[in-house]
Amino acid sequence: MKLLIRTVRNYALVSALLFILSTPLFYWAIYSLVIRQMDASLIEHKSDFLEAAQYIDTEAELNKHQRMNKEFSVKIIDTPLADRFYTEEVFDSAKAEYHPYRIYSTTITLHSQPHELRVRESMVSSKDLVSAIVSIQAVLLVLLFIALVLINRQLSNTIWYPFYLIVNRLKNYRIDKDTSLQLPTSSTLEFRDLSEAIDLLIQKNKSTYLAQKEFTENASHEMQTPLAILNGKIDLLMQTELSEYQAELIGSIQHSTARLSKLNRNLLLLAKIDNQQYNSKESINLSSVITALLDQFEEAIQQRSLQLSSALDTKVLIKSNKALVEILMSNLLTNAIRYSPAGSVIRLKLTASTFTIQNDGTPFKNPASIFNRFSKEDQSSAGTGLGLALVKQVCSELGFDIRYAHQQGRHIFTLRFD
Amino acid sequence: MKVLIVEDEKELSNSIVQYLRQESYVCEVAYTVREALEKVALFDYDCILLDISLPDGNGLKILESLKQESKLEGVIIISAKNSVDDRIKGLNLGADDYLTKPFHLSELGARVSAIIRRKRFDGKNQLMFEEISIDLLGKNTQVHGKPVELTRKEYDLLLFLLSNKKRVVSKNAIAEHLSGDEAEIFDNFDFIYAHMKNLKKKLHDAGCHDYIKTVYGLGYKLEA
């Protein structure tokens, strides 16, 4: 959930709650104020009446006054009553409906006789006022809420801008390619802290990465000379008088040395691709690269009695690094030739955007890791375990995409280069 | 024939000296750029093996000074760096060949003898061994003066053995020599056996004595 939606949702919840609670409360508060005001005015009306009552001498006069001033009604009572205020619905014959009235009932003495005086006042206009005030308040609250959402959105666009920028930069950052992450310097303390923390982390990672990369390269380099010496000594040892047993031992030592040399060469190659020592680009006809490699491998193909079924589009041109493309194709072809069962068919297909190579074989036990370094299906195999890692590395360097699938008893590697 | 080996790794230069001596080359060793510069100023060599990374500087300096004195011996660069840039730089400065460490001494032997042959025989490049004669330019092989039709691989194989005669050449070295980096595509050395069998048969059919001996478990040796 987006941060904005989350905050707005919280605002909305609180506002709704506030609205629901405050409206009756507000209504009640205004209402009580109005009532108090009315009651005070009713008491004033009473004194008005008492003033007028001095000039009313007879019951007939009183009745007349009552008819003229509907808000007063006087009734003879036996015993004085306590003062009270109340609200009553009174039928309005003119409009044929009930209207609320505020009524003040009190006892007055007229002609030495206790009378109950009721002073009343219509509440219609006051009630309308109250509802008007409450509606205005409701509208204001809604407007306030809308304003909050808008302000929030605006804030998230401006205040959170550095944050989204940082996230974007982080997403696109590649430790092997980019030198540094150009993080924005925000005036907001939190984002500045975040930028600094990320910068620090990246610097540390970068130096660890570089150290590791350098180590691989240096280690492989440093191994070249001892390997050369070892090779030389074995070659010399072979020139001496040897028993069959000794010869056999030397043979297997040499075999292992050869493997070690090959491994080391591939590690160096990986390090070199890492270091982007293959930058130049030229126009390459892929089908001629593949055909040239197949010519080179012809002997191995014949030796294993493999069949080739190739459909190569001869017009496919790409702009890329020739050395890397050759390494890539060579490794894919070598793999297929080495691991196909003798007498099986290798299928090659080159179209304007993809190259597919298929060869027979049982599924890998761990297909997810086939592109990892030193991941070997059969640990005893003479392969270096770096072939497909090289393929992957070259692909990522050249911006190609390599995929593996196993279907109908065949390993299928699909290379997308567009 | 004099060969100068410029290589600071004593063990490696010793091995090279020992191996090349069997071919009756006179070998001298320099361990630093300074020593090498002194030696090339005083003597003429048929071939110089040059390591680029030396303790007191870059071996390419020696190449530059040779070029200035136009005493360009056949120079083979031996480097731990398999870098295209270095290779191109070296070859531009006049080196004849570039060999990446680690290498087989038999491979080095073949390159050295190729360079020496080229220098010695300018143009009329013929290699003779008993009744076998090879025209290196036309890549033709003759036995008792009669041509023998060899495939490219068989020709390469014969030349490789001749360049390392009287020495055991391992199957690994042959495989790498014939197939380069792609040697690993073969699970075994059966392809060498096949070429060897054909070569021996063709030579034998042409009336050639069987000079190629199988050294059990290791490889082959060509010896009169």
A331 and A401 co-located in one domain: yes
CB distance A98 to A74 below 8 Å = no
- Which pLDDT does position B50 carry in this prediction? 92
To test the contact with chain A by mutation, choose from B104, B106, B167 the residue with the greatest count of A C-beta atoms within 10 A, namely B104
Which residues, including other chains, have CB under 8 Å from residue A134's CB and lie 6 or more apart? A23, A26, A27, A30
- Sign of the torsion angle spanned by Cα atoms A379, A384, A386, A391: negative
Residues of chain B with pLDDT under 50: none
Cα distances (Å, whole numbers) of residue A153 to A4, A23, A107, A370: 7, 27, 65, 47
Of the ranges A134-148, A345-359, B56-70, B71-85, the best mean pLDDT one: A345-359
Q: A129 or A147, which is more confident?
A: A147
A394 and A343 co-located in one domain: yes
User: pLDDT averaged over chain A?
Assistant: 85
Q: A198 or A70, which is more confident?
A: A198
CA–CA–CA angle A350, A354, A359 (5° rounding)? 65
Task: Give the pLDDT mean for A240-256.
Answer: 89
Could you give the CA distance from residue A224 to residue A57 in angstroms, rounded to a whole number? Answer: 136
Place of tokens 């030592």: A253
Which of A130, A155, A180 finishes a domain?
A: A155
pLDDT classification of A382: cutoffs 50, 70, 90:
low
Could you give the CA distance from residue A10 to residue A4 in angstroms, rounded to a whole number? Answer: 10
CB distance B209 to B130 below 8 Å = yes
Instruction: Tell me what ipTM this predicted complex has.
Output: 0.86
Strands in B168-170's sheet, in edge-to-edge order, are: B168-170, B219-222, B212-215
Cα distances (Å, whole numbers) of residue A67 to A72, A176, B74: 9, 102, 142
To test the contact with chain B by mutation, choose from A220, A225, A235, A249 the residue with the greatest count of B C-beta atoms within 10 A, namely A235
Could you give the CA distance from residue B77 to residue A73 in angstroms, rounded to a whole number? Answer: 130
Give the number of other Cβ atoms within 10 Å of residue A120's Cβ. Answer: 19
pLDDT classification of A380: cutoffs 50, 70, 90:
low
Checking if the pLDDT of A309 tops 80, the result is: yes
Angle between helices A322-339 and A387-398 (to 10 degrees): 150
Nearest CA in chain A to B85: A277
* A224–B contact, CB cutoff 8 A: yes
pLDDT classification of A271: cutoffs 50, 70, 90:
confident
Radius of gyration of chain A (CA): 49
- Which pLDDT does position A131 carry in this prediction? 83
The tokens of A12 are what?
Answer: 């909305």
Q: Can you give the residue ranges of every domain in chain B?
A: 2-120, 123-222
The tokens of A350 are what?
Answer: 């080159």
Domain count, chain A: 3
- Find the Cα–Cα–Cα–Cα dihedral A136, A138, A139, A142, rounded to 10°: 160
A58 and A117 co-located in one domain: yes
- Which pLDDT does position A286 carry in this prediction? 92
Q: Residue A412: in which H helix or E strand, if any? A: strand A410-416
**Taking CB atoms and an 8 Å cutoff, what residues of chain A touch B52?**
none
Q: Within chain B, where are the H helices?
A: 10-21, 33-42, 60-68, 84-92, 105-121, 152-163, 171-179, 190-205
Residue A25 lies in a domain: yes
The CATH number for A186's domain is 1.10.287
Count of CA atoms in the C-beta half-sphere (13 A) of A374: 3
- Which pLDDT does position B57 carry in this prediction? 87
- Which pLDDT does position A170 carry in this prediction? 87
- Which pLDDT does position B181 carry in this prediction? 67
Could you give the CA distance from residue A229 to residue A23 in angstroms, rounded to a whole number? Answer: 93
Fold classified for B123-222: Arc Repressor Mutant, subunit A (1.10.10)
A232 and A308 co-located in one domain: no
pTM: 0.68
Checking if the pLDDT of A70 tops 80, the result is: no
* A342–B contact, CB cutoff 8 A: no
Across the interface, do B217 and A225 touch by the CB < 8 Å criterion?
A: no
DSSP state of A364: P
Residue A43 lies in a domain: yes
- Judged by DSSP in three states, A239 sits in coil
Task: Give the pLDDT mean for A255-266.
Answer: 86
- Which pLDDT does position B121 carry in this prediction? 64
For B2-120, the fitting CATH number among 3.40.980.10, 3.40.50.10800, 3.40.50.2300, 1.20.120.1200 is: 3.40.50.2300
- Judged by DSSP in three states, A71 sits in coil
Domain carrying residue A173: 165-277
- Which pLDDT does position B119 carry in this prediction? 76
Checking if the pLDDT of A296 tops 90, the result is: no
Residue A160 lies in a domain: no
Which of A134, A155, A176 finishes a domain?
A: A155
Peptide bond preceding B102 in cis form (omega within 30 of 0): yes
**Chain B residues near any Cβ of chain A (below 8 Å):** 9, 11-12, 15-16, 18-19, 22, 80-84, 100-106, 153, 167-168, 170-173, 176, 179, 181-182, 184-187, 190-191, 194, 215-219
Q: A278 or A394, which is more confident?
A: A394
